[in-house]
Structure 1
Amino acid sequence: ALWNDAAGRTWAEMQAVLDRMLAPFVDRLVAEAFPGEGGCVLDIGCGAGATTLAMARRVGPQGLCLGVDISAPLVAAARERAAADGVAAAAFLEADAQTHGFDPGAFDAVISRFGVMFFDDPEAAFANIRRAARPGAALAFVAWRSPADNPFMTTAARAAAPFLPPTPPAAPDAPGQFAFADGERVRRILDRAGWRDVDVSPLDLPGEVAEADLMAYVTRLGPVGLAMRDMGETRRGQVAGALRNAFAPLVQDGAVRFTSACWLARARA
């Protein structure tokens, strides 16, 4: 419901900002899992399609990259981009990769850029995805490490906390942005789901949000963005001021630059 309502629409509207922020991961994922020209690739949690389109360009017109996402607004945005860019090897499907009945052995590789941390049952999801991959197919995905490793990602929540109702901390393994913070847990999930040659390694890449985009990013996305939707004008102004003050020391030369601390998970079907 979240990804097909407020969050999905906002992510679609903010796709250009998010794609610039996450751009360093695209080439890395394509390089890790590229199956060769004419290959067939599955992109899990494809969002507005940046990674799907990049892989589709690499596999060429005889290949296919299928992007899957549960968000209708994001899938619609991805299809519009593929059509506008003339990338015929990109296709998109609105579905839950945990339960969707993919054709067995259909894919030569599987990739995901921050799209696999939201499954209700990650082990079942990765078992379903493995069945969709041919024997020997490569899996490569990135997932965030811990909040402590990614202070930029939690600055907004800390700054807005005095203005929000107290909420109990989420369980560390609950679906969400940091659900895969524990690399050992990620290894166990993939092992139990039947993947082989599992490797989960730290990957730190530079991130950047332009100063001109910063306030839209911090006031529209994530838990703070959702909370601000229901606030009155006065409280919204107070939260926006707190966010502006919190991020001001981080702005240098027109942008906030930070390290994206992630896991790069690789395996074989």
Structure 2
Amino acid sequence: MNTQQTSMWQGAAGHTWVATQNLLDRMYQPIEDLLMQSLPATTRRLLDVGCGTGATTLAAARQLGAEGHCTGVDISEPMLASARERAAHSRSSAVFIQDDAQRHAFEPASYDAIISRFGVMFFDDPVAAFRNLRLAARDGATLRMIVWRSPEDNPFMTAAERSAAHLLPQLPPRVPDEPGQFGLADRHRVQAILEQAGWHDIDIQPLDVLCSFPETELDNYITKMGPVGRLLQTADEHTRRQVATAARAGFAPYIDNGQVRYTAACWNASASAR
């Protein structure tokens, strides 16, 4: 993972995800459910890549039960501290590793399922990362990951940027294929990455998931999440109010009866190790 991504997730972005984990877990619950439904019944040892504050790792541990062994890996110290606290509170058997999954020395051939919910788009060398994960997979193991499609397919995710760009000239542009939220938006590139990394039976299908959260959380979402939220962490109060007001207007089409509703346009990607 490159220095910029490491710094971001060890710092402001990591702390923001911890502060908003209840909101984000509720928002992405449908995607967690899809991942859990896709786990083969024979799964015993599972690796959750880019596990963040641990929701999907903990869900997998609940599903696998006493015979399962679930491990989450993430670069972010603050997010993993939250994950470990949640595991202790729920008496979960899940364990967590703080490291870059691209470079971590996993025990070879030790997992029969590898999953990720929006956690694999940040590698500086994705072929090396998925090759490392392939080495950690047993023969016959499955890989299942859900990643974002393009910004154009996800207008909700860029609504704040479009609405408040005139107030934030320093807002960084979205660059195709760069590590970040939309780093694996190109389906053909994802296919090539997995092939070069040694995975087989690759299947990449579009997945549209309806997500929602209470409208009362919208200002919190705008001022903390994404590129706009990160810039506002160090902005003065006047700028924060201006940007929040402008950005909120961009979310008007998504507000319905007290809820913010949008479609998460994703790729549902799977592969096998053989």
Q: TM-score, normalising length from structure 1?
A: 0.96
Q: CA deviation at 1:35?
A: 4.6
Q: CA deviation at 1:167?
A: 5.2
**Is the contact between residue 218 and residue 243 of structure 1 (CA under 8 Å) also seen in structure 2?**
yes
Alignment match of 1:99 (pick from 96, 99, 103): 103
Q: CA deviation at 1:100?
A: 0.1
SS at match of 1:61: helix
Q: Give % identity.
A: 53
**Is the contact between residue 130 and residue 197 of structure 2 (CA under 8 Å) also seen in structure 1?**
yes
Whole-Å separation in 2 of the counterparts to 1:78 and 1:168: 30
Q: CA deviation at 1:245?
A: 2.2
**Is the contact between residue 143 and residue 262 of structure 1 (CA under 8 Å) also seen in structure 2?**
yes
Q: Name the residue aligned to 1:162.
A: 166
Moved more, 166-175 or 180-189: 166-175
Q: Name the residue aligned to 2:247.
A: 243
Deviations 1:9-33 (A, max 9, x none): 1101100000011100112112223
SS at match of 1:46: coil
Alignment match of 1:40 (pick from 36, 45, 48): 45
Quick one: which amino acid aligns to residue 105 of structure 1?
Answer: A
Deviations 1:171-219 (A, max 9, x none): 3110010111111110100000000000000011111121011110111
Number of residue pairs the alignment of both structures matches: 267
Whole-Å separation in 2 of the counterparts to 1:229 and 1:109: 37
Alignment match of 2:78 (pick from 73, 85, 91): 73
**5+ residue gaps, structure 2:** 1-6
Q: Name the residue aligned to 1:29.
A: 35
Deviations 1:120-147 (A, max 9, x none): 0000000000000001100000000011
Alignment of 1:179-258 (within 5 A): 179-258=183-262
Q: Name the residue aligned to 1:86.
A: 91
Q: TM-score, normalising length from structure 2?
A: 0.94
C-alpha RMSD of the superposition: 1.2
Whole-Å separation in 1 of the counterparts to 2:220 and 2:38: 32
Q: Name the residue aligned to 1:6.
A: 12
Whole-Å separation in 2 of the counterparts to 1:48 and 1:209: 18
**5+ residue gaps, structure 1:** none
Q: Name the residue aligned to 2:3.
A: none
**Is the contact between residue 172 and residue 227 of structure 2 (CA under 8 Å) also seen in structure 1?**
no
Whole-Å separation in 1 of the counterparts to 2:265 and 2:38: 18
